[in-house]
Amino acid sequence: MAYITVRGSVRHRSVALVTRDPGLYHELAGFLRERRVPTVSLLPGERIPDQVAVVLTSSSEAPLISHSNVLPVAEATDRRSLAAVVRHALESADVTEAIVVGVDPGPRPGYSILAGSTILAEGILESPESVGTFANHLRHRFPSRPVLFRVGRGDPLARNRIVNSLLDHQRSVELVDEQGTTPRGRRRPRDAAAARSIAHLRGRPVREPLPLTVTPGEIANLQRLSREGSGGRLTISRSSAHRVLQGEITLAEAVAEAMARPGRSGPSREGAAPREPL
């Protein structure tokens, strides 16, 4: 395993990757390279340059490293929250400011993490319920900082699932009027840009779970998606679609259940029209 060992001073604030673990080294080196983070690679025991803002290492090696900001990283660590805390260390944001996370609601919510005016990280999450799990990762990475989640009002069902997930994890939540926050363009960059705008807007605090109301149109649309996703082989039932829309199972799981159903000879016809299942 080749290490890039830097001796002496480093000109700019950087991250030190300090480990003898080859798997962790290559994973984190790629993680930092993708984000164009200035990095110095060292072995445990080597002098850490003065301009290093944060040290990434393994949990077992962390006690061996003398630095004011050492982050132990496991191979299963959430990389999105790690990206946020690394950027925070490099930008030297005001440590008294709260972390604000804007969330653009949808089946795959967009997010933007801000510390004051500094953008720490942006991206897309897998599902409305994954926002609550993501919130726990952020709390782990910013244990001494208040973290506020601002959720846009669009897509009511996904919005309410997101809010309920955050409340389940005891996170502070505000509902924000997101009208006009979504710019034109490709979906994923739009979601992150909308989330950034949402993060900047004050909203109404939410302290109680919100109702999950599924409409017939949402059920029909999900059945259409299941039909398209299965190549026309099946349409999930209305009851399965309802479970998906309430976050109990994923669409892929609903399709798999329908495929595995004994005696299935064609598309599910629950609630179907005479010619085509809905």
Gap between the Cα atoms of 56 and 224, Å rounded = 46
Res 162: pLDDT: 97
130-154: pLDDT as tens digits: 999 999 999 999 998 899 999 999 8
Exposed/middle/buried for residue 36 (C-beta within 10 Å: 0-12, 13-18, 19+)? exposed
Asked if the model's pLDDT at residue 6 lies above 50, the reply is no
Res 275: pLDDT: 36
Res 277: pLDDT: 40
The encoded tokens of residue 103 equal: 């969330």
Gap between the Cα atoms of 32 and 36, Å rounded = 6
- Which among 130, 133, 100 has a CA at the least distance from the CA of 118? 100
CB atoms closer than 10 angstroms to residue 191:
25
Where exactly are the structural domains of the chain? 14-77, 99-206, 214-278
Regarding predicted confidence, which is higher, 4 or 19? 19
Q: Which of 30-34, 37-41, 190-194 has the lowest mean pLDDT?
A: 190-194
The 8-class DSSP code of residue 125 comes to -
76-125: pLDDT as tens digits: 789 999 999 999 999 865 777 889 999 999 999 999 999 988 999 999 99
Locate all alpha helices (DSSP H) within the chain, ordered by sequence: 22-34, 79-91, 130-141, 156-168, 187-199, 216-229, 238-245, 251-260
For 151-173, b/e burial (b = at least 16 CB within 10 A) is bbebbebbbbbbbbbbbeeebbb
The CATH number of 99-206 is: 3.30.420.140
Q: Which sign, positive or negative, has the C-alpha torsion 184, 125, 137, 39?
A: negative
Gap between the Cα atoms of 54 and 32, Å rounded = 12
Res 97: pLDDT: 81
Distant-in-sequence, close-in-space partners of 177: CB < 8 Å, separation ≥ 6: 152, 153, 201, 203
